[in-house]
Structure 1
Amino acid sequence: MKILLLGEYSRLHNSLKEGLESLGMQVTIIGFGDDFKNYPVDIYIKNSYSKGFLLFIKKTIYKLTALDITSLSIKRQINKHKGKLINYDVVQLINENPFCTIPKLEITLLQHIFKHNKKVFLLSCGTDYISVNYAFNKKFRYSIFTPYENNKVSKTNYWNVLKWKTKPFKKLHDYVFKNIQGVISSDLDYHLPMRNHNKYIGLIPNPINTDKIKVEPINITNKIVIFHGINDRNYYKKGNDIFDEALQIIKGKYASKIDIIEARSLPYSKYIKSYNSAHILLDQVFAYDQGYNALEAMAKGKVVFTGAEKEWLNYYNLKEDTVAINALPDAEKIAEKLEWLILHPEKIAEISKNARAFIEKEHHYVLIAKKYLETWSVTN
């Protein structure tokens, strides 16, 4: 089978590709490498004018002419590769806006994909029309909109989320859903909004290549090491400010018992090495399930504070605080969980083993690749 994976988030498509190739499939990834994270892709598209002086030029031109020069640059690059984007048995879009252009141009680029390939599927694994509107309508107890509602971020800084509330992106959403064979969600945060939609074909957990991620044995001989990884652009969206507040509480009580490592906006290759010495990793707050960073840390045997809500516990038939720690949007409650682990270090070793076992059982990249092949094959 010949497969095209269009776009990349947090190494999802790279891990899926590795699983599919182990099963004898021919797989190509086209995309941007997910910005500064710099994930490998087979066909690289440069996302120009995204920062610094070039971003200023882009904004200035847009104000004067309403032209988005980033979208035009992407269009030129895609046009050069059009011959490489045809005759696939399966194409999977990482998002409803995989080329990251303005909606009108995105539809034009996607027309080529739909016209020249057999089956096209969509992943719901990041902000999109349905998940954003589900959250905006307060159907979650808390969500990525909570920081915005609490006035921690501006409308401009939250554009990548809020754009899905606009008419052009609704039109893009409608066009994509009209042409795809089906939608697959990657975790509970996207499964819950998609339930009962006629295009939804189910949840397939994120694939994790456990062959590449080795367990770091828990060995607490002195201080407990806590790692806090920060993507500056998503500081409030991920709840990093709440983690910082919790860490201040813990430092005030247990400074002699802990070490804290902080890393900011690192490329993937550096990020995944930066927390090797940690026992505990603080991932994100506003989630019901784990994203990619959390899953890879769990594969390493870290105790991860992340989305681990009751819906997730019920879905996988787990008990609270046995595989991951649910990071509620409350600094005092997070500090209480940290204190519990500091005072009971044997729990760290126990959760570490459970976390790795969970990833191998539910997220192993070859097992997940097989699930994708089954799903793609039975869908007309």
Structure 2
Amino acid sequence: MNILLFGEFSGFMNCLKVGLTSLGHNVFLASDGDGYKNFPSDFRWDRYSSHLSRRFLSKPKYKGLVYLTNLWQNRSLLRNYDVVLFISPYIFRNRLKINEAIFDYIINNNKRIYVSGAGMTKITFDYWYNSKTKYHDYCEGSLLDEPQCPFLINGNMKGWEERLLSRIDGYIPIWYEYAEPYRNYPCIKKTIRIPINVNQFNYRPNELNNGKILFYHGISRLCKGVRFIKPAFEKMQKYYSDQAEFICAERLPFSKYMEVINKANVIVDDANSYSVAMNALFSMLQGKLVMGGAEPIANKELGLEYNPVYNICPDVDQICDVIKEIIEKKDQLQRLGEENRKFVLKYHDHIKIAQQYLDLWKADLDK
């Protein structure tokens, strides 16, 4: 099968590509590397060799035009595939006409088209923002991250998404959060768990650093609950400075992020979600403990018999209670870390997950 993966979020497509190629399929990945995270890709539409284009790329208002030009000049790389999987309905959220032009070309020049439910969309935003749930807090945090959030101010986005959903062969969510708002859309497929390249990182015994347990939170976006996590860290530092250390760091490239992870014992992922994402799973693969989303309804969506993630909420005191619970178990870190790695191997192995995608696509191609 010839497969085009289009876009990238946190290494999702890289892991899926490794799984698909391991199963003997031809896969081409086109992306922008997910911005500052700089993930590898077979084709990067954000990289352009000409001096003029580099000058334009330094000016945000011209980036969309330069990216579109780069994609158009390399359009031969984007056609004649059996299957295309987009990471999102958006390549350029603030430039719908450019976005539509890219999708139109790819839809018209390939066989089967799918969109991954792996990030915020207008449909998702509206559903959760109007709810009384912890994911409402995620949406509120998104507005703090991006005051001119197009999901709020651009009324045309929902219409674009619904037109796209009517043209594709399937919408494939990765989480409960991205499945629930789409239940009434005919193109929704069964939720498929996140693929993790289980060969990418080795297990490291989870051991104390000079007798202290190290908690780490990577501040990438405010929507992940740093306004609850950071005060919890500060509060617990006062009471447990002799037993624990607490670190927050901002916007690290993926390679640097994983260097920091190597030193940490506990990763605090997201206080506002029902599920955990790529970086948390990469950490668990290495034997780290994780605090993040592990709501029962999300575990059921993913078909999990158990989940070793410590569930946290947008509540400083609740987060403090979980931190205290983990500190009291610090003599069990290595055993708990081994269980976390086994969890990822059982439920997120990139080859097993890739096979689920292939089964879905093959069934549609055979129709």
TM-score after normalising by structure 2: 0.90
SS across alignment from 2:262: coil
| 1:182 aligns with one of 160, 167, 170 | 170
The alignment covers a number of residue pairs equal to 356
Q: Tell me by how many angstroms 1:346 deviates.
A: 3.8
| 1:226 aligns with one of 212, 215, 225 | 215
SS across alignment from 1:246: helix
Deviations 1:48-82 (A, max 9, x none): 9xxxx989954xxxxxxxxx522211211111111
| 2:292 aligns with one of 300, 306, 311 | 306
Q: Work out the CA distance in 2 between the residues paired with 1:212 and 1:163.
A: 35
**Residue 52 of structure 2 aligns with which residue?**
none
Letter in 1 for 2:255: S
| 2:345 aligns with one of 357, 360, 365 | 360
Q: Tell me by how many angstroms 1:323 deviates.
A: 0.5
Q: Work out the CA distance in 1 between the residues paired with 2:328 and 2:132.
A: 36
Letter in 1 for 2:270: Q
Change beyond 3 A, Cα 1:101–1:244: closer
1:8 aligns with 2:18: no
Identity %: 28
Q: Contact 1:341 / 1:347 at 8 angstroms: preserved in 2?
A: no
Q: Tell me by how many angstroms 1:20 deviates.
A: 0.4
1:29 aligns with 2:29: yes
Q: Tell me by how many angstroms 1:208 deviates.
A: 0.3
Ranges in structure 1 where 5+ consecutive residues have no aligned partner: 59-67
Q: How does 1:1-380 map to 2 (within 5 A)?
A: 1-46=1-46, 57-58=59-60, 68-100=61-93, 102-138=95-131, 140-143=133-136, 144-147=138-141, 153=144, 157-160=146-149, 162-163=150-151, 166-220=154-208, 222-231=211-220, 234=221, 236-315=222-301, 316-318=303-305, 323-379=308-364, 380=367
Q: Contact 1:104 / 1:172 at 8 angstroms: preserved in 2?
A: no
Deviations 1:181-213 (A, max 9, x none): 010001222122223421101111110011111
Q: Contact 1:298 / 1:304 at 8 angstroms: preserved in 2?
A: yes
Q: Tell me by how many angstroms 1:177 deviates.
A: 0.9
Q: Work out the CA distance in 1 between the residues paired with 2:304 and 2:72.
A: 48
Q: Tell me by how many angstroms 1:335 deviates.
A: 0.8
Letter in 1 for 2:139: F
Q: Contact 1:246 / 1:334 at 8 angstroms: preserved in 2?
A: yes
Q: Contact 1:263 / 1:274 at 8 angstroms: preserved in 2?
A: no
Ranges in structure 2 where 5+ consecutive residues have no aligned partner: 49-54
Q: Work out the CA distance in 2 between the residues paired with 1:164 and 1:174.
A: 16
Q: Tell me by how many angstroms 1:133 deviates.
A: 1.5
SS across alignment from 1:276: helix
Deviations 1:4-24 (A, max 9, x none): 001000000000000001011
Q: Contact 1:7 / 1:99 at 8 angstroms: preserved in 2?
A: no
Letter in 2 for 1:242: F
Change beyond 3 A, Cα 1:147–1:99: closer
Letter in 2 for 1:171: G
Letter in 2 for 1:355: N
Q: Work out the CA distance in 2 between the residues paired with 1:203 and 1:116.
A: 27
Q: Contact 1:128 / 1:164 at 8 angstroms: preserved in 2?
A: no
SS across alignment from 2:204: coil
Change beyond 3 A, Cα 1:99–1:153: closer
Q: Work out the CA distance in 2 between the residues paired with 1:47 and 1:309.
A: 40
Q: Tell me by how many angstroms 1:309 deviates.
A: 1.0
Q: Tell me by how many angstroms 1:139 deviates.
A: 5.8
Deviations 1:314-335 (A, max 9, x none): 444545xx60111210111111
Q: Contact 2:114 / 2:172 at 8 angstroms: preserved in 1?
A: yes
Q: Tell me by how many angstroms 1:132 deviates.
A: 1.1
Q: Tell me by how many angstroms 1:270 deviates.
A: 1.2
Letter in 2 for 1:250: M
Deviations 1:254-312 (A, max 9, x none): 10111233332111111112111211111111100111111111111111111111213
Q: Work out the CA distance in 1 between the residues paired with 2:286 and 2:58.
A: 40
Q: CA RMSD in A?
A: 2.2
Deviations 1:96-140 (A, max 9, x none): 013556112211221110111000100010001221121122163
